[in-house]
Each structure stands twice: as structure tokens, then as C-alpha cells.
Structure 1
Amino acid sequence: MELSSILQPEAVRVLNSLTSKKRLFHELGEIAASVYHLPQSGTVESLMERESLGPTGVGHGIALPHARLEGLDQVRGVFLRIEKPLDFDSVDRQPVDLVFALLAPSASGVDHLRALALVSRTLRDPDICAKLRANEDPATLHAVLTELPTSEAA
């Protein structure tokens, strides 16, 4: 599984600021509706329901909200870079400026977990996060997220 198969270029956005997690989930729902043709209200409800089980802010300014949805045939992603970090009740109490939401088919067991692990590994890389925070162009952000490492040697 590769991020390029999960994340469409149109699903990468930069937002100036958001006032709340709820507003963030509405933005994610709007993007999922426009890019992946998912029902906006169902997406928002599913994300909020999952968040009520425990915050998906994983620390270091990163949040990984995720939900399972009817009507999806494969795991899909939405990435947001927020210029003014948002309080997210993260594990380290730091505000969030990088959000990668995963939307999975309701019956996807292992694929959902693999995608979540892939996104988590990618965003644990400080160099990738630095590049994401240094760029405002959605096409560049998509390229940073989906480029495959070419070599371990420098």
C-alpha cells in the first residue's frame, strides 16, 4: 500500500485557521464529498463518533482522525495543513497543524490498519513534517506525502 493510492491531489488543502475540531470535521466532510463523492453528513458523523472514543491527536502537531464508512470501496485520505494550529486535545497537549484523515470501507479490517500505520510512519518522519510545514502549495504537499524514498544512502 502506498500513500499515492490513498490520497488524491485534490484532497490536499491548506487552511488559514479553524475555530474547533467540529469545524475541522466539517471541512474534512466537505472535501470527502467533493473529491470522493461521499455523503458529507455521514462522514462528519463518523469522524466525530470515532473522536468521542478518544482524541486522535497523536502529538507533535499531528492528528490522524479516521472513520469507517458505508459506500467506500477502498481506503481514502484527506490531508490538511492548518496555518494557525488548532487545539485538538492531543496526547502531548500541543495544538495540531497537520491533519491526515483516513476514511475506510466499513468492512475493511486489515487495510484500514495498514493505511493508519503507513500514515503514522510517514508523519513520524521529522524531515517530512518540516517540508509539510514549510510549504503552502497543495501540489507540493501531495508530492512530499506521496514521494517514495529513493535511497537510504546520502
Structure 2
Amino acid sequence: MTFLELLKPQAVKVVAAASSKKRLMHDIAELAESAYGIHAASAVEALMERESLGPTGVGHGVALPHARIPGIDQVHGVFILLEKPVEFEAVDRQPVDIVFALFAPEDAGVEHLKALALVSRSLRDAALCTKLRANPDPSTLYAVLTEDRSSQAA
């Protein structure tokens, strides 16, 4: 699985500020609706339900909200860079400015896990996060996320 398989260019956005975690979830859902046709209200509900199990803020300013959505046929990603970080109840109690949300079919067991592992592993890379934060342009962010990192030195 690659970022090219998960993410469309129109699913990448820079948001000046979100007033709250819930508002951010609405922004994510609206982007998922416009990019993939995922019903926004269903997406918000599914994301908030997943958050109630435990926050998806993984630390270092990164959040990976995810949810299963009935009626979609593959895993889809949405990327948002926040110009002003928002409180997200992250594990390190730091506000979040990099958000990569995943929407998976209800029965997408291993594919959902592969996507989550790819995104999680990639966004643990401090150099990648620095590069993302330094490029507040959606097309540049898409290029950074989808470039082939396998050929780069470790």
C-alpha cells in the first residue's frame, strides 16, 4: 500500500484554524465528501464514535483519526495541515497540526491496518513532518506525501 493508493490531490487541504477538535472532524468529513463522495454527516459520526474509544492524537503534533464507513469500497485518506494547532487530547498532550484521516470499508480488516501502519510509520518521521509543516500549499503537500521514500537513504 502507498500514499498514491490512499490519497487524491483534492483530499489535501490547508486549514487556517479549527476552533475545536469537533470542528476539525467536520472539516475532515467535508473534505472526504468532496474528494470521495463519503457522506459528511456519517463520516463525522463515525470519526467521533472512534474518538470516544480513545483519542487518535499520536504525539508530536500528529493525529490519525480513522473510521469504518458503510458503502465505500476501498480505504481513502484525507490530509489536513493546520496553520494554527488545535487541542486534540493527544498522548503527549501537545496540540495537533498534522492530521491524516482514514476511512475504510466496514469489512476492510487487513487493508485498513496496512493503511494505518503506513501513515503512522511515515508520520513518525520527524524530517517528513518538518517538510510538511514548511510547505503550506496543498499541491506541494500532496507531492511530499506521495513521493517515493523507499529509494531514499535510511
Is the TM value for this pair above 0.5? yes
Structure 2 equivalent of residue 100 of structure 1:
100
Alpha-carbon deviations, 1:67-98, whole Å to 9, x = none?
00011110000000000000000000000000
The amino acid that maps onto 1:139 is: S
SS at match of 1:84: strand
- How has the CA–CA distance of structure 1 residues 126 and 49 changed in structure 2, closer, same or farther, with 3 Å as cutoff? same
- Paired position in structure 1 for 2:85: 85
Aligned to 2:73: 73
Deviation (angstroms), 1:151: 2.9
Secondary structure at 1:67 match in 2:
strand
Where in structure 1 are there 5+ consecutive unaligned residues? none
Task: Write the distance in 1 (CA, Å) between the matches of 2:149 and 2:95.
Answer: 29
Q: Aligned-pair distance for 1:152?
A: 4.0
2:129 is aligned with 1:126: no
Which residue of 2 is the match for residue 39 of structure 1?
39
Q: In the alignment, which residue of structure 2 is the partner of 1:11?
A: 11
1:153: Cα distance to partner? 4.1
Identify unmatched segments of 5+ residues in structure 2.
none
Q: Identity over aligned residues, as a percent?
A: 62
Distance 1:6 1:71 in 2: 17
TM-score (norm 1): 0.97
Structure 1 partner of 2:52: 52
Q: Please state whether the residue corresponding to 2:11 is helix, strand or coil.
A: strand
* Cα distance between partner residues in 2 of 1:35 and 1:145: 17
The amino acid of 1:38's aligned partner reads I
Please name the residue that 1:64 is paired with. Answer: 64
Superposed CA offset, 1:88-124 (max 9, x none):
0000000000000000001100000000000001101
**Match in the other structure for 1:146:** 146
- Computed over aligned residues only, the root mean square deviation of the Cα atoms, in angstroms, reads 1.1
CA displacement 1:2-43 (0-9 Å, x = unmatched): 011100000000001001111011111111111100111000
- With normalisation by structure 2, the TM-score equals 0.97
Deviation at 1:126, TM superposition (A): 1.0
Which amino acid letter does the alignment assign opposite residue 94 of structure 2? Q
